[in-house]
Amino acid sequence: MSARAEATKQKLFDATLKLATSRGLVGLTVDEIAAEAGVAKGTVYYNFGSKDALVDALLRYGVGQLAERLRAAAADPDPVVALESQVDAALVFIRDYRGFSQLLVSEMWRTPGQWHETLTLLREEIITIVKEQLQRIDEAGRLPAGVRIPTAAAGLFGTLLVVALDWQVFQPQRSRAEVRNSVMLLIRGVAANPVLGGES
């Protein structure tokens, strides 16, 4: 793909994010997206075929970016430190792509709609990365007995999204380190006391 075509797609992604953040996706038209992006309506159809295909591509692009950052952050040999790095990477992503993150939250947990199938696959991709990290912590003997890793991974992903958006919208004066430490507080407390046990 040429640099020009890539730049055009990015403009359409940015325009869709801006409009969807303030209004949601339902009712958003190709005309409005094109006008916001400063391109002809036909450009949307040429690049994506339809508004639905544009949103689908946007969701895949954004989650792909998040997944790359989470994988890159998992290098530390200490699995708890690596998880903290992943939490931090997620916070940076959500800060940098707040509009996308708001869109992801609003679409992921509403009544299943037209992007439900795509979001299900994307959610599973992120949760799998988190599960792998929790599995490393478990293999190091630092998770309590009875912790269900798939449930814990889903809970951590949901917590990250909601806490980070709350930070951006309602508590922007807090530092990223403060927010990261608040997310990690429970994880570190549990991981440091594997003899506590727990129920699934």
- The pLDDT tens digits for 45-75 are 999 999 889 989 989 988 999 999 999 999 9
Q: Where are the domains of the chain?
A: 1-49, 55-193
- DSSP string across 58-94: HHHHHHHHHHHHHHHTT--SSHHHHHHHHHHHHHHHH
200 pLDDT band, cuts 50/70/90, is very low
- The pLDDT tens digits for 125-162 are 999 999 999 999 999 998 888 889 999 999 899 888 88
Specify the pTM: 0.83
Class of residue 180 by CB neighbours under 10 A (exposed 0-12, middle 13-18, buried 19+): buried
Least confident of 61-70, 173-182, 185-194: 185-194
- The pLDDT tens digits for 7-47 are 999 999 989 888 887 777 778 899 999 999 999 999 999 99
The dotted CATH code for 1-49 is 1.10.10.60
| Cβ atoms of 72 and 46 closer than 8 Å | no
Task: Report the pLDDT value the prediction gives residue 149, as an integer from 0 to 100.
Answer: 93
Class of residue 192 by CB neighbours under 10 A (exposed 0-12, middle 13-18, buried 19+): exposed
Q: Which CATH superfamily is domain 55-193 in?
A: Tetracycline Repressor, domain 2 (1.10.357.10)
Residue 78 scores a pLDDT above 80:
yes
| Cβ atoms of 58 and 16 closer than 8 Å | yes
